Amino acid sequence: MSFIAILSIFVLACFVGYYVVWSVTPALHTPLMAVTNAISSVIIVGGLIAAAAAEVPGAKWLGLLAIVLASVNIFGGFAVTARMLAMYRKKDRAPDAGGRS
């Protein structure tokens, strides 16, 4: 891809990011940080490319190490986000809300 094409995607994605993030409710700002953490670990793609190319051992090991670090983040980030989001619930949705009072 040409540099300009890549730059175009980047600039447009910045605008998308701007509007999407402003629409995130402040109550979910912590999950937002956790999930952005997880998705920024898409940098694992670079690690996978380096690890798959065996002809330069140094680069391969750096790639494998990058995969380990990024995987901690991917699994940890999505799992902790899921754990947090599961806690948010609405009023009167709890099973015992109606009957007891």
Partner 1 sequence: MSPAPPVPLQAFMVAAVWNGTVPDPALPLHAAGDASSPWVGLAYLVAGALFILALRGLSHPSTSVRGNRFGMAGMLIAVVTTVVTHDLASLPEILAAIGIGGAIGWIIARRIAMTDMPQLVAAFHSLVGMAAVLVGWAAYLNPAAFGILRSVGDAFTHPVIGAELTLWREEINPVSRIELGLGVAIGAITFSGSVIAFLKLAGRMSGAPILLPGRHVINLGTLAAILVLVALFAAAQPGATLPLIIAITVLAFLIGFLLIIPIGGADMPVVVSMLNSYSGWAAAAMGFTLGNTAMIITGALVGASGAILSYIMCRAMNRRFLSVIAGGFGADAAVAGSSGGEARPFRQGSAEDAAYMLEQAERVIIIPGYGMAVAQAQHALREMADLLKKKGVDVRYAIHPVAGRMPGHMNVLLAEANVPYDEVFELEDINSEFAQTNIAFVIGANDVVNPAAKTDKSSPIYGMPVFDVDKAEQVFFIKRSMSGAGYAGVDNEVFYMPQTTMLLADAKKMVDDIVKALS
Measured CA to CA in angstroms, residue 94 lies from 27, 29, 41, 84 at distances of: 20, 24, 35, 17
Q: Which of 23, 40, 31 is nearest to 84 (CA)?
A: 31
Minimum distance from CB of 99 to partner 1 (Å)? 13
Measured CA to CA in angstroms, residue 95 lies from 9, 75, 84, 101 at distances of: 47, 31, 20, 12
Minimum distance from CB of 44 to partner 1 (Å)? 6
Minimum distance from CB of 11 to partner 1 (Å)? 8
